[in-house]
Amino acid sequence: MYELFQSGGLLMWPILACSVAAGAIICERFWALAKRSVTPNQLLIQIQQLIERREIDNAKIHYIGQSSPLGRILAAGLINMNHGREVMKDAIEEAGRHVVHELERYLNTLGTIAAITPLLGLLGTVIGMIKVFSAITSYGVGDPTVLAGGISEALITTAAGLSIGIPSLIFHRYFRGKVNALTINMEQEAIRLVEVIHGDRAEQTIPEPAQLQNVS
């Protein structure tokens, strides 16, 4: 394996660095984006029980904010629960933007790795082919061993770049989708909290088709 790595030339080192970084990011994001740690199932129910028992205080709000990303959003709403609906929603939205930014941490780096590793492999291919043509110019095509070094470098770097770039792209898209799903879930929980505290939204009634015809 080490001989194969050496045959790829100097560009194998940045490809190796990209593979290590991508592996670390993928493992870290799997742990950080686990649904149970981002959006605990019973958190809103527990908050509602505290509100009903009038046990919400600054200490409990601080604990809720430190418990999870969803808790941070809900805590921002609880801090402003004595203000109007719009003030509470603004505080929740501001906290939500920060939380989503944290959930997307390292994803841009992973996307960059997915984009540049195939390009590094392509650059290695070009360098390998340059070596092949230089060897042809110097020694001709009579001895295939003279050409083997450049050809092997070209193929190895291409394979290495694609083998890192393809999984990185797959996981980048997967984590993007997971962040979007978690964001929608947190938004729904925040709306429920607002309704628990300020349950004064007017009900929307859908008119019957006959009523629509009369209006028209």
In a domain, 205, yes or no: no
Please give the pLDDT value at position 201.
47
Report d(CA 193, CA 78) in Å as an integer. 9
The string of pLDDT tens digits covering residues 85-125 is 888 889 999 999 999 999 999 999 999 999 999 999 888 88
Q: What is the pLDDT of residues 183-202, one digit of tens each?
A: 999 999 999 888 888 765 44
**Helix H or strand E encompassing 203:** none
Q: State the total domains in the chain.
A: 1
Rounded CA-CA distance 190/89 in Å is: 8
- Give a yes or no: residue 66 inside a domain: yes
* Structural domain span for residue 118: 2-197
Instruction: Provide mean pLDDT across the span 56-75.
Output: 90
Please tell me which residue, 157 or 210, carries the higher pLDDT value: 157
Where does the pLDDT of residue 150 fall: very low under 50, low under 70, confident under 90, or very high at 90 and above?
A: low
In a 13 Å sphere around the CA of 47, the CA atoms on its Cβ side amount to 31
d(CA 31, CA 190): 23
pTM exceeding the 0.85 threshold for the entire prediction: no
Nearest Cα to Cα of residue 38 among 169, 197, 187: 187
Whole-number Å distance between alpha carbons of 182 and 188: 10
